[in-house]
Structure 1
Amino acid sequence: METQASLQRKLNGATDLKSVVRSMKAMAASNIGQYELAVSSLGDYYRAVSLGIIAYFRQEEIYTITEQNPPNGNLEKTILAIVFGSDQGLVGQFNDSVSDFVSQSLHDLPGKVEIWAVGERVQLLLSDIGYNTAQLFPVPNSVNAITPLVQQILVKSEERFEKVNTTEVYIFHNRPKSRAGYEPVIQRLLPLDEKWRQSLTELKWPTKLIPQVIGGVRPTLLALIHAYLFTTMFKACAESLASENASRLAAMQRAEKNIDELLDDLTHKFHSLRQSSIDEELFDVVSGYEMLSK
């Protein structure tokens, strides 16, 4: 049977837990802001890089990109999947949703699959599904830590391409929705084919002046391609971190609501028990007075 002391301890514990949840909710909301700001700030840079590639295509009169078949047609097609997950707790179904989406998406793609995971938890979930992870990267804990991670992934991918014939590279991550929540998405990073070129042509040159490429043509193209790959990878990582904090914020909101309901229930029980104790004491006093009066 619960006593006033035990209920008071539960009330104090629930109050302390609520203060922790509110702090975590404020931290998650703050993190969402910085990651969303990082994504939006990439917009102008990505546009500048894309316009630079368009200027290169126009100067070199490249109007289509023809895909080249590998020298040995018997080589099995290799697909590299880079999956962004989370290593933090209290994120709900964040890792489960992206791992299930990876499994469904790769099931429809023919070829040998190689997984690069960002985060140990999503790696374990992919292993349970049946995918072996070739590379494991830590999840960045701030905006400043995204750049070293992206550079590391790009360097390792270049080293891998020199050793193994990789035909396609896909990025899997969670992306925030316009209103609330997040959704898993897939984006093909490589190869840069005709479909990719056509997507760039949707951008219109901002002036009537004919663009010109200054400097060496090949070094300029390589720099622009590297900037494009870096921006795409950075954006995917920032959106994944924003989704992670959005999931944590939603979890903290649910937890805060549950704690409020628990506090109301405990407070009601405490007041009821306290009132019962007061009634018993008054009954004893009245009974004693009546006995003495007789």
Structure 2
Amino acid sequence: MSDTTASLRHKLKSAGDLQSVVRTMKSLAASSIVQYEQSVSALGDYARTVELGLSVCFRGIGHADALTGDATGAEAGVSGAVVFGSDQGLVGQFNDLVADHAVKTLAGLTEPSRDRSGRQLRVWAVGERVQARLVDAGLPVVECFKVPNSVAGITPLVGEILVAIEADEGLRSALPILHLVYNRPHSAAVYTPVAQRLLPLDESWRLSLAERPWPTNNQPEVIGDDSGVDTGTLRALIREHLFVSLFRASAESLASENASRLAAMQRADKNIEDLLETLNGTFHRLRQSGIDEELFDVIAGFEALAGSRRSKQRR
């Protein structure tokens, strides 16, 4: 059925309304990216403070493995992973990529509930959509958390994750391995999936912190037991390090999600622009064709009327 001017007007209006929605979503995504990037930047000073505290503790520790864990080759204990995804659509392959990366990070499963070293496996998902993909891949998701919709919602989310991890008996009773898997903003490809091992603490990282110079001439001291270390202080600082890492991962994941949505909205806006250009062209051609037909009808009527008058005059 061929288009009419009325149907084309309806299509143009619908496309214009859709373009308004798309451009609004573009603006929201762009502003969200800025606030999440700013939150990561603001977190830097706090992270630096935590690292300075850890550096003081690590200098006096001769048995750091007992506190921070060195689980390489250990067959007992638990491996865990926190995977950050999304709850909303219009993000392209955002959840697929991070789920695939999580599967690769935890690859070599001997059975659904254990990793390649025989450790029991726990997976916490942030976002219902990524949870579904992890379950389809055969990973044991023990709990799913909602994705925050603002910076203010990140801190409660991190608190819930820490409570869930600390409540897990396996992670409390043995030297744990804990990974973070999330999408990180990347200028060349919008975002890229990354995996970070939180526990046990990296040996080279611990040594670099222990060798980091104090920024002032007043050297701090940690009041501890006979071994010269306050395990309570160290554990508190490690918990704050986990908080910082989880907060940064969540904020970067949300920035990546909005960057993916922004890219999708930019493509949609371009497609709508092309559609509007095509519809406008078709509408103007059809309208001009209608005007031409009306003019031809007027001219034909005028010529017929003039011919009739000339015939009467001849008579």
Is TM more than 0.5 here? yes
Q: How does 1:177-196 map to 2 (within 5 A)?
A: 177-178=186-187, 181-196=190-205
Which structure 2 residue ranges, 5 or more long, are not aligned?
Answer: 109-114, 308-315
Q: Tell me if structure 1 keeps the 8 A contact 2:70–2:200.
A: no
How far apart, in 2, do the equivalents of 1:29 and 1:42 lie? 20
Structure (1 or 2) with the larger CA radius of gyration: 2
Q: Tell me if structure 2 keeps the 8 A contact 1:65–1:197.
A: no
Matched, 1:95 2:108: no
How far apart, in 1, do the equivalents of 2:29 and 2:75 lie? 50
Measure how far apart 1:214 and its partner are.
Answer: 5.6
How far apart, in 1, do the equivalents of 2:64 and 2:75 lie? 26
Residue 112 of structure 2: aligned partner = none
Which one of 272, 276, 301 corresponds to residue 259 of structure 1?
272
Distance 1:202 1:180, change over 3 A: farther
Measure how far apart 1:210 and its partner are.
Answer: 2.4
How far apart, in 2, do the equivalents of 1:43 and 1:69 lie? 29
Cα RMSD (Å): 2.3
SS in 2 for 1:210: coil
Q: Which amino acid aligns with 2:127?
A: G
Q: How does 1:1-294 map to 2 (within 5 A)?
A: 1-58=2-59, 60-62=60-62, 65=65, 75=76, 78-107=78-107, 110-111=116-117, 112-161=120-169, 165=174, 167-178=176-187, 181-201=190-210, 203-213=212-222, 217-294=230-307
After superposition, what is the alpha-carbon deviation per residue over 1:248-269, rounded to whole angstroms, capped at 9, x for unaligned?
Answer: 1111111111110000000000
TM-score (ref. length: structure 2): 0.85
Distance 1:32 1:91, change over 3 A: same
TM-score (ref. length: structure 1): 0.91
After superposition, what is the alpha-carbon deviation per residue over 1:63-104, rounded to whole angstroms, capped at 9, x for unaligned?
Answer: 96475679xx764x5321110000012111110110111112
Measure how far apart 1:240 and its partner are.
Answer: 0.5
Which structure 1 residue ranges, 5 or more long, are not aligned?
Answer: none
Aligned-residue identity in percent: 54
How far apart, in 2, do the equivalents of 1:202 and 1:43 lie? 20
Distance 1:156 1:170, change over 3 A: same
How far apart, in 2, do the equivalents of 1:173 and 1:102 lie? 8
Measure how far apart 1:22 and its partner are.
Answer: 0.8
Deviates more, 1:37-46 or 1:158-167: 158-167
| Equivalent pairs, count | 290
After superposition, what is the alpha-carbon deviation per residue over 1:124-155, rounded to whole angstroms, capped at 9, x for unaligned?
Answer: 11122222311111111111111111111111
Deviates more, 1:213-222 or 1:174-183: 213-222
Q: Which amino acid aligns with 2:142?
A: A
